A and B are shown apart, each in its own frame.
Chain A
Amino acid sequence: MGHIGPKKVLILGSGGLRIGQAGEFDYSGSQAIKALKEEKVKTVLVNPNIATIQTDSTMADELYLQPLNVETITKIIAKEKPDGILLGFGGQTALNLGLALEEQGILKKHKVKVLGTPVTAIKITEDRDLFKQALAKINVPTPKSIAVKTVKEAVAAAKKIRYPIMMRSGYSLGGLGSGKIENETILRERASAALHNAPQILIEEYLGGWKEIEYEIVRDSADNVVTVCNMENFDPMGVHTGESIVVAPSQTLTNTEYHTLRETAIRVARHLGIIGECNIQYALNPKTSEYRVIEVNARLSRSSALASKATGYPLAYVAAKLALGFRLDEIKNSITKKTSAFFEPALDYIVVKIPRWDITKFKTADRRIGTEMKSVGEVMAIGRSFPESLQKAIRSLNIGVSGITDHAPIADPRQEIMEPTDRRLFAIYEYLRTGHTLKEIHGLSKIDPWFLSHLKTVVDMEKRLKEDPLNPELIQSVKKLGFSDKAIGKIKKKTENAIRTLRLTHNITPVVKQIDTLAGEFPAETNYLYTTYHGTEHDVTRSKKPPIIILGSGPYCIGSSVEFDWCAVNAARAIRSLKHPAIIINSNPETVSTDYDECNRLYFEELTNERVQDIADFEKPKGIIVSVGGQIANNLALPLHTAGYQILGTDPRNIDRAENRYTFSALLNNLSIDQPEWQEITTLERAKQFGDEVGYPLLVRPSYVLSGAAMNVVYNADELTTYIAEATTLSPDHPVVISKFIEHAKELEIDGVANHGSIVIEAISEHIEYAGVHSGDATIVLPPQRLYLDTIRQTKAIAQKIVRALDISGPFNIQFLAKDNDIKVIECNLRASRSFPFVSKVTGHNFIDLASRVLINQSPKSTDYETLELPYVGVKMSQFSYQRLKGSDPVAAVEMASTGEVACIGRQYMEALYLAWSATEQAVRGQRLLISIGGANGKKEKFIPLLRQLEEAGWEISATEGTQALLAQNGIGSRCVYKASEKLEPNVVSAIAEQQVDLVINIPNHQKSATLTDGFTIRRLAVDHHVPLITNAQIAEIFLKCLTTLDRDDIPVISWKEYLT
């Protein structure tokens, strides 16, 4: 058989990371590109997510950093003339886009063949009705359901199916209108609301409490099929699998159950005609073993990324080969290198995944979890007992707990067990600890007793640990249950170090085991490793040549995302190209860095002080790189250094000097570099006094927190008082830091690499929003467009001073405020920052490659890199996930809120900005604007000329009262819409909900959220109804300029290579 397929293949990426669609698609896209390249197939990738590995110069033959929409792809197809397209590697975005291209006849017209699963099959899996019908044909059960068009029908249907029922909105707005319904009264209410928005709803049998099980399936065009992995949810049906703790393989299924579901999975894949990879989700009745199929995803998914990492079976790579026409038995098992891809991995370890949430970052968002995704990332852990894997995973979450025993008290654990929140696991543990029974908890949560009783085992061990002396036998036992040295220390009132020392004197250390896909049955050369205390022997010996350990990023969360995976992978590639063995440690399954072909050895492990030391003790590395994995890795620099391990690059004491506010501030003073006035305070009086001294507004924050968590701007003494009350309850151990908040200041950043205190390369980028929008949320342009030359000169000079003073070797990032050429430094990170991939790809110089050379003491080839005079412009824009976080206020402020980013390159500033905006899935499709600008007049005036131009260009403008009046005064025609609270028509509510507008501009008063205001209602409505929304004045201004001056249909598609050469 072999490759019969196309010569040039278009691959659709997934765009910016957002809740429900995160880094896993960098993994799948990257593997697809590797697989295609092996077969000498030319690849064209479209993905505006610049922070990914797949958009690296070494990956696809052609790369388009462009929005993923029909117009753009059509242009790219016309230009590139691919003969095949892959839709299954870029998540739901790519799949939907592919379906749209097919429906509009574009693929047919340009003779582009959809590779892998045919579109007809995809359509069936995407349409609930068709899907149920298709499965009924082969006698596979799906949840009973009745489609209804009226409330009366709904009531009748519910009676038939019996309460509680699951209501699903046929045409659903981000899951709006779906959920569990207990009785007729609620049904009447909810059904009538839902039928208001949709012609039809589905009344479905509610399967809450059934086991939720998934299988990953691969099938080739010759009908060879295997299920690569199955997974069981700790949280039963009712909690989305993406929100559930998941174990692999399933733990509580009998052989018969396992194989009934496996056989069904194969029948379904066969019946649908899947070619490549798909995922099937089941509900399994724990009392009767009956089952239902919930859905099939005919594409790579988050679960398939997890399954790949859990088993070592490279699903995406294999799926890409299958799409080219290969058979499973023609593809090699890339771990054993001897056997083929037609087999099902046998695991001899247990894998636990836990989602990572950041809900608390959004003050008004609901903490409860359910059938919709809210988590922003996940971690995976490998061990040889459930508690061991679970506790490793808990630590990997990086939420400040050293194990399950170490969570802050929860006020009402029972409530959070019954109505799950992001911390249900800890609530269960606490409830068990206070003596409640497994039976009661099972009753409240329906979580299988198997899982609960393991938690009980840990509770009992914790008790024993409290009471008994810490002898070797006890240490061994608690280690087998996954207790960390730190957790043991907390219980025994000793330091982590003391426990470690004690442990080492008794020779109690974890063993290193391999993941080999065949449970040891075949000799395998695998470099995929984990550690466990359930073992007496290492599978491997230490690396022959002293390796370099690279610490990865840990879980994706707000503030730390795929950009750090890009940094880690690029560091590993550079280190290997310089002939040093590279070891990666990471705990995040949604990454490329955990593909075992990206390094010499991969430790899928927690990024904790303890485990990194364990690995370093075993491997005896030449050094450890802490500066490419974001803040988790960076925070390990000093403890590892203190414990005597070699940290590569800048001296960890200097890293600490930059991290510590006092020492850094003193350093700036010494260097005569200006900084916003600040003070660390412990009493409210002191704070007020400071406010009086320097004047409001003030920026208030607890010290040592990443990405502005709990940061706030206050505009007067009252706000200050209220906020401090909140913040101190938030973190009682930390004093509060208050700075003078500089209004209307420009913000800029320097990303760079230095070698022993002198700069090798640096790039200055400019924020479009004024300071006050977190640098992780801000729109960033490179090269800078509107900075004074003097500003650039000054920032460069400052950077040089700091670099010299801290004797920086390696990557760094400095953030500045600039107001009228007056430059202040706000912070300096002695590590790669989130903008490293952006500056690397826009300038064409790989900053991480240069940094890696410096880190291993190789002098960079040159120090003369052009990063300012570029013949094009790059704009990076943040991707938010407000849609998923019901109730959150969609306004960017000093606390970071975005979950991802995109970047586009244009011939000029506005073009790049417009493309980037479109790439955040906010394409403006018509010419109807709703504008509502609050606050003092003067803010509105700026927009008058722009709005006039817009009107002239044929736009239809609606405005709320104040804004409308001003427009009228200036002779600009607009329709007045009432505010939500006015309850009169025409109203903003109907205007937005009924999609009568194509763009909403609402600029709130301060950057401060007030949720009960009319402005909040407008913003939330826009987000909930997928209407593009602008909330920042600087963005509004430039975007309106784009709308009036750009010929939007005429923007050419230019590839990254074309720009750079």
Chain B
Amino acid sequence: MKPAQLILQNNVTFSGLSPAWQTDLCPGEVVFNTGMMGYIESLTDPSYAGQILTFTYPLIGNYGVPKPSLWESKKIHARGVVVSEACENWSHHEGTVSLLEWLKEQKVPIITGVDTRALTKLLRESGVMLGAINTRISNLESRIWNHFDDPNKENLVGEVSIAKKKIYGKGRKKIIMVDCGMKENIVRCLQEYPATLVRVPYDYDYTKEPFDGVFLSNGPGDPAQCTKTIEILKKAFTYKKPIFGICLGSQLMALAAGAKTYKLPYGHRGQNQPCLDIKKNHCVLTSQNHGYAVVEKTIPAGWYVNFRNLNDGSVEGIANKTLPFFSVQFHPEASPGPTDTRELFKQFFSML
């Protein structure tokens, strides 16, 4: 390990240590996640594309890294990792390599030994900001370095979506799964039902084919960037077939319906976000990972808020009053996080 810095846009730097192989300066949007486990699922979640992920839990890597079939996608999507301690003495029957070995394999930089609580509080107070893990320029230089590019302006969804259509199963019902950076566990959850799943790229126009329902996945970045996906979705609305969106998918549904989205100051990233299922007046605990949310007062007539965040009152999902369209801002597929809302997949399937 050697000295390294986390440089932030506001000129604050945190010092720490990085593995010897790191020699570069790696920028990204610095965000934090408060989950206590599930670092594998988080790091391979495509929604973290473009971001440097800070874990607030101080010990990360305890159970090592399992084989890729247990990941949420084929690789690590986060651009960098910030921790207090990266555990080298991992122990688990599913583990194959350590976190540090894995990051090296995947060429994802890490900085350890950081006061992640101090960093988290800073992000909470100033909002998420751009930053970089530095092992290239001197400590002194790093204090004035300022060449950040906002990853939210990139076509992040384009980077993480699949390239070609892919088909799973051969059930009677056909579900279009729009992949904007879909987590594998969503596929696993939907595979529990007798359906044909057609996973398509974010910009694929599926409205030309017959389908029984559309699923809109999670994904990274600013939803307003996904103009193509939104256009196609608007067309899909006219078929009045069931549509279910998760996370980015929920924001896209809102945008297609005519609502607006905004950037939350520091997002919701964690596994303990309480939400109220408004119709049932029932509380659920949810897993979340998003930086943008729906502006409630822009939600058009004909739509309503179906879930609400119990902490800050923000919109956690919308649904159409008459048509079978609904979406949630959180992750019912969990992985990582609580499984309280798994039933939503069942609900979706039963609507088909």
Whether A536 contacts B115 by the Cβ 8 Å rule is yes
**Residue of chain A at shortest CB distance from B284:** A224
CA distance A456 to B56 in the complex (A): 25
Residues of A within 8 A of B276 (CB): 329
B93: Cβ under 8 A from any A Cβ: yes
B141-186 with Cβ < 8 A to chain A: none
- CB-defined interface of B92-122 with A at 8 Å, one 1/0 digit per residue? 1110000000000000000000011110110
**Which of A344, A349, A518, A536 is in CB contact (< 8 Å) with B118?**
A536
Whether A454 contacts B89 by the Cβ 8 Å rule is yes
B209-224 with Cβ < 8 A to chain A: none
Whether B283 contacts A329 by the Cβ 8 Å rule is yes
**Which of B40, B59, B117, B118 is in CB contact (< 8 Å) with A385?**
B59
A448: Cβ under 8 A from any B Cβ: yes
Whether B274 contacts A329 by the Cβ 8 Å rule is yes
Residues of A within 8 A of B14 (CB): 536
B306: Cβ under 8 A from any A Cβ: no
CA distance A988 to B327 in the complex (A): 75
CA distance A327 to B335 in the complex (A): 27
B119 to chain A, nearest CB (A): 9
Residues of A within 8 A of B66 (CB): 254
| Known A346-B34, A453-B91; contact A251-B59, beta-carbon cutoff 8 A | yes
Whether A385 contacts B85 by the Cβ 8 Å rule is yes
Whether B38 contacts A255 by the Cβ 8 Å rule is yes
B90: Cβ under 8 A from any A Cβ: yes
The interface residues of chain A, by DSSP majority, are classed as: loop
B6-29 with Cβ < 8 A to chain A: 14
Whether A328 contacts B59 by the Cβ 8 Å rule is no
**Residue of chain B at shortest CB distance from A450:** B91
- Stretch in contact with the other chain, from B74-82, B130-138, B200-208, B336-344: B336-344
Residues of B within 8 A of A343 (CB): 272-274, 285, 310-311
B30-76 with Cβ < 8 A to chain A: 32, 34-38, 40-41, 56-59, 62-63, 66, 70
Whether B120 contacts A521 by the Cβ 8 Å rule is yes
Residues of B within 8 A of A513 (CB): 117
| Known A226-B285, A348-B57, A449-B89; contact A253-B34, beta-carbon cutoff 8 A | no
A537: Cβ under 8 A from any B Cβ: yes
CA distance A226 to B339 in the complex (A): 11
**Residue of chain B at shortest CB distance from A456:** B89
Whether B310 contacts A350 by the Cβ 8 Å rule is no
A465: Cβ under 8 A from any B Cβ: no
**Which of A259, A519, A534 is in CB contact (< 8 Å) with B337?**
A259
Residues of A within 8 A of B285 (CB): 226, 342-344
Residues of A within 8 A of B266 (CB): 521
Residues of B within 8 A of A345 (CB): 272
| Known A222-B282, A254-B63; contact A520-B121, beta-carbon cutoff 8 A | yes
For the complex, count residues of A whose C-beta is within 8 A of B.
Answer: 59
Residues of B within 8 A of A934 (CB): none
**Which of A222, A254, A263, A511 is in CB contact (< 8 Å) with B94?**
A254
B250: Cβ under 8 A from any A Cβ: no
B11 to chain A, nearest CB (A): 16
Whether B283 contacts A328 by the Cβ 8 Å rule is yes
A457: Cβ under 8 A from any B Cβ: yes
| Known A252-B63, A289-B93, A384-B84; contact A521-B124, beta-carbon cutoff 8 A | yes
A980: Cβ under 8 A from any B Cβ: no
Residues of A within 8 A of B311 (CB): 338-340, 343, 522
A1053: Cβ under 8 A from any B Cβ: no
Whether A521 contacts B58 by the Cβ 8 Å rule is no
For the complex, count residues of B whose C-beta is within 8 A of A.
Answer: 53
Residues of B within 8 A of A223 (CB): 282
B35 to chain A, nearest CB (A): 7
| Known A346-B272, A450-B90, A453-B89; contact A253-B37, beta-carbon cutoff 8 A | yes
B257-300 with Cβ < 8 A to chain A: 266, 270-274, 276, 281-283, 285
B253: Cβ under 8 A from any A Cβ: no
A507-542 with Cβ < 8 A to chain B: 511, 513, 518-523, 534-537, 539
Whether B118 contacts A342 by the Cβ 8 Å rule is no
Whether B35 contacts A286 by the Cβ 8 Å rule is no
CA distance A1021 to B126 in the complex (A): 69
Max chain B C-beta neighbours (<10 A), residue from A255, A256, A266, A539: A255
Max chain B C-beta neighbours (<10 A), residue from A287, A386, A536: A536
B334: Cβ under 8 A from any A Cβ: yes
CA distance A224 to B284 in the complex (A): 7
**Residue of chain A at shortest CB distance from B38:** A255
| Known A255-B38, A255-B336; contact A520-B58, beta-carbon cutoff 8 A | no
Residues of B within 8 A of A521 (CB): 32, 34, 56, 120, 124, 266, 270
Whether B274 contacts A386 by the Cβ 8 Å rule is no
CA distance A523 to B87 in the complex (A): 29
**Residue of chain B at shortest CB distance from A338:** B311
CA distance A487 to B282 in the complex (A): 53
Residues of B within 8 A of A454 (CB): 89
Max chain B C-beta neighbours (<10 A), residue from A327, A385, A534: A534
| Known A263-B339, A345-B272; contact A450-B89, beta-carbon cutoff 8 A | yes
B72 to chain A, nearest CB (A): 10
Residues of B within 8 A of A262 (CB): 338-339
CA distance A349 to B310 in the complex (A): 24
Residues of A within 8 A of B84 (CB): 384-385, 534
A288: Cβ under 8 A from any B Cβ: yes
Residues of A within 8 A of B58 (CB): 348-350, 384-385, 534
Whether A255 contacts B40 by the Cβ 8 Å rule is yes
A943: Cβ under 8 A from any B Cβ: no
Residues of B within 8 A of A518 (CB): 34, 272
A258: Cβ under 8 A from any B Cβ: yes
CA distance A286 to B95 in the complex (A): 12
Whether A348 contacts B115 by the Cβ 8 Å rule is no
**Which of A255, A287, A344, A523 is in CB contact (< 8 Å) with B41?**
A255
CA distance A226 to B274 in the complex (A): 10
Residues of B within 8 A of A256 (CB): 70, 335
B299-313 with Cβ < 8 A to chain A: 310-311
A554: Cβ under 8 A from any B Cβ: no
A238: Cβ under 8 A from any B Cβ: no
- CB-defined interface of A204-248 with B at 8 Å, one 1/0 digit per residue? 000000000000000000111010000000000000000000000
**Residue of chain A at shortest CB distance from B120:** A520
**Residue of chain B at shortest CB distance from A385:** B85
Residues of A within 8 A of B121 (CB): 520, 539
**Residue of chain B at shortest CB distance from A226:** B285
Residues of B within 8 A of A287 (CB): 93
A347: Cβ under 8 A from any B Cβ: yes
- CB-defined interface of A435-465 with B at 8 Å, one 1/0 digit per residue? 0000000000000111001101100000000
Residues of B within 8 A of A340 (CB): 274, 310-311
A98: Cβ under 8 A from any B Cβ: no
B278 to chain A, nearest CB (A): 12
A249: Cβ under 8 A from any B Cβ: yes
Residues of B within 8 A of A384 (CB): 58, 84-85
Whether B310 contacts A342 by the Cβ 8 Å rule is yes
| Known A288-B93, A343-B274, A448-B91; contact A329-B310, beta-carbon cutoff 8 A | yes
Whether B116 contacts A348 by the Cβ 8 Å rule is yes
| Known A286-B93, A287-B93, A339-B310; contact A258-B115, beta-carbon cutoff 8 A | no
A226 to chain B, nearest CB (A): 6
Residues of A bordering B, CB below 8 Å = 222-224, 226, 249-256, 258-259, 262-263, 266, 286-289, 327-329, 338-340, 342-350, 384-386, 448-450, 453-454, 456-457, 511, 513, 518-523, 534-537, 539
- Known interface pairs A253-B37, A449-B91; 13 further A-B residue pairs with C-beta atoms within 8 A, sorted by A's residue number: A252-B92, A259-B337, A342-B274, A346-B34, A346-B35, A346-B270, A448-B91, A450-B63, A521-B120, A522-B124, A534-B84, A536-B14, A537-B115
In the complex, 26 of the A-B residue pairs with CB atoms within 8 angstroms, ordered by the A residue number, are A252-B62, A253-B63, A254-B40, A255-B37, A258-B37, A262-B338, A266-B340, A286-B93, A329-B283, A339-B311, A340-B274, A346-B36, A346-B271, A348-B34, A348-B120, A350-B59, A384-B58, A385-B84, A385-B85, A449-B91, A450-B90, A453-B91, A520-B32, A520-B34, A521-B120, A539-B121
